Chain A
């Protein structure tokens, strides 16, 4: 399991950030809208790592094409929505720039209020050089 060091946490706190604490955000027309509660950009090849993340605390490389993530907070229940897209596993080439969604992660039904899994699978499990995920609380 890989966690975030205090330095990274402090760096985040030092940024000039504006935050509001409310239960809901609405337009002036009273339409309620929803932020993503967590998101990640992840490198699954080599030594897997977050390229960017917010709302997460750690990740685990379970096996080839199989990763688990721990949120920095607790979801109200397990019915949150996960939206993911990954990149084709073949290295970048001049023709396709390495992109295809054939090998990309989908929403995992093996989940808890604090953890979820992302798997990258087609004919077998494969590592993806990059995938992106959004989490939305129900």
Chain B
């Protein structure tokens, strides 16, 4: 076993980079496995609570999740309308991922990961390792995230409690429409953005993913547009989380 231990990681362009903390797969809402999974609780139909193995330093870490279509002989593979949402009620020790459309539904599989700056309280750059990618001893590659965000559109809160890293600002353009500006320009506009949002219900903040953010191709190297839309129109959501993954910046 070999490992490297460092306070912060950065790409050769200088921007800090990030890695997933918890990665989890929930099968049939009855079991969970993955990395840094501390436990699993069935909170009811379509609702799975995951305990973090490590206590997260902040509450508003990003949870990105997507799920499989509920069991169907016709479409056994997937359908994202019934996919998992992210939980605005998460704590430093656990979070809930859910499968929801017009109601909660158990589904055969939900995959999720969390992103967080674990050393966000350090406030300095002591112990920074500049590295663009890793490879484990079996030869499998690994890549680092450039940024992550955990945005509350409903209260326009994007910066309290360490809600983002690698993002310099977020702008409220209109209802359900936000821009996230990167701290460092990315190499190009083809970066990977895998956002997840929380269902918005007029009566309450029900959990679900039907009203969630998609991957936008209206994007720039220095910012990405986040819209929260479904059949009902563009809506604010109390929780939109995502990670940005790209290659190293140009030298």
Contacts and interface: CB of A to CB of B under 8 A. Distances in A.
Interface of A: 15-41, 51-52, 54-55, 72-76, 79-88, 92, 95-110, 117-122, 129-134, 136-138
Nearest to B37: A138
A20 B214 contact: no
B127 A28 contact: yes
Contacts of A18: 12, 130-133
Interface in B201-225: 209-210, 212-218, 225
Contacts of B20: 33-36, 136
Interface in B50-104: 54, 64-69, 75-81, 83
Contacts of B184: none
B161 to A, nearest CB: 19
Given A101-B209, A136-B20, 5 more contacts: A26-B5, A33-B21, A99-B225, A109-B78, A132-B194
Nearest to B246: A52
10 contacts: A16-B12, A33-B18, A34-B36, A35-B143, A73-B139, A85-B213, A96-B234, A106-B79, A122-B81, A138-B25
A2 to B, nearest CB: 16
Given A20-B134, A54-B143, A102-B230, A29 B65 contact: no
B239 interface: no
Nearest to B227: A99
Interface stretch (B40-48, B109-117, B149-157, B163-171): B109-117
A82 B228 CA distance: 22
Given A81-B113, A99-B229, A105-B80, A23 B137 contact: yes
B9 A85 contact: no
Contacts of A99: 213-216, 218, 225, 227, 229
B247 interface: yes
Contact of B67 (A75, A92, A107, A122): A107
B113 A136 contact: yes
B160 interface: no
B65 A83 contact: yes
Contacts of B66: 82-85, 104-107
Contact of B194 (A51, A79, A95, A134): A134
B188 to A, nearest CB: 7
A100 B69 CA distance: 17
A107 to B, nearest CB: 4
Contacts of A87: 214-217
Nearest to A17: B132
Given A35-B134, A35-B142, A109-B76, A102 B23 contact: no
Given A79-B25, A121-B69, A38 B141 contact: yes
Contacts of B65: 83
B219 to A, nearest CB: 9
A15 B77 CA distance: 38
A35 B244 CA distance: 12
B33 A79 contact: yes
Contacts of B218: 92, 97-99
Contacts of B210: 101-102
Contacts of A105: 66, 78, 80
